Amino acid sequence: MLPELSQPSELPASLRGWIDVLEVQDGEFFAADLFQRKYGVAPPEYGRHIVALYRDSAAAMHTLSYLHFWQQDRIGLIGGGCTDGAIMRAMPNDRAGAINAAGGMLRQTLLYAFTRFHTGIDAFFGHAGDERAREVDLAAGFKQTHDKHLLIRPVRALADEQEQALIEQALSLGSF
Per residue in 71-100, pLDDT (tens digit) is: 999 999 999 999 999 999 999 999 999 999
Q: What is the mean pLDDT of the segment spanning 152-166?
A: 97
- Would you kindly state where each structural domain of the chain is located, as residue ranges? 13-171
Say if residue 78 is exposed, middle or buried (CB neighbours under 10 Å; 0-12, 13-18, 19+): buried
Mean per-residue pLDDT of the chain: 93
pLDDT band for position 4 (cuts 50, 70, 90): very low
Half-sphere exposure of 35 (CA within 13 A, CB side): 21
CATH fold group of domain 13-171? Aminopeptidase (3.40.630)
* pLDDT value at residue 7: 43
Query: Is 2 a residue whose pLDDT tops 80?
Result: no
Helix (H) / strand (E) element for 112: namely helix 105-116
Query: Is 5 a residue whose pLDDT tops 80?
Result: no
Query: Is 170 a residue whose pLDDT tops 80?
Result: yes
Highest averaged pLDDT of the listed ranges 5-9, 133-137, 161-165: 161-165
Query: Is 3 a residue whose pLDDT tops 70?
Result: no
Is the pTM higher than 0.85? The answer reads yes
Query: Is 6 a residue whose pLDDT tops 60?
Result: no
Closest C-alpha to 65, from 94, 44, 86 = 86
Per residue in 10-29, pLDDT (tens digit) is: 899 999 999 999 999 999 99
Query: Is 117 a residue whose pLDDT tops 70?
Result: yes
Label the pairing between strands 75-83 and 123-127: parallel
Per residue in 58-74, pLDDT (tens digit) is: 999 999 999 999 999 99
**Helix 105-116 vs helix 131-139: crossing angle, to nearest 10:** 50
* pLDDT value at residue 9: 65
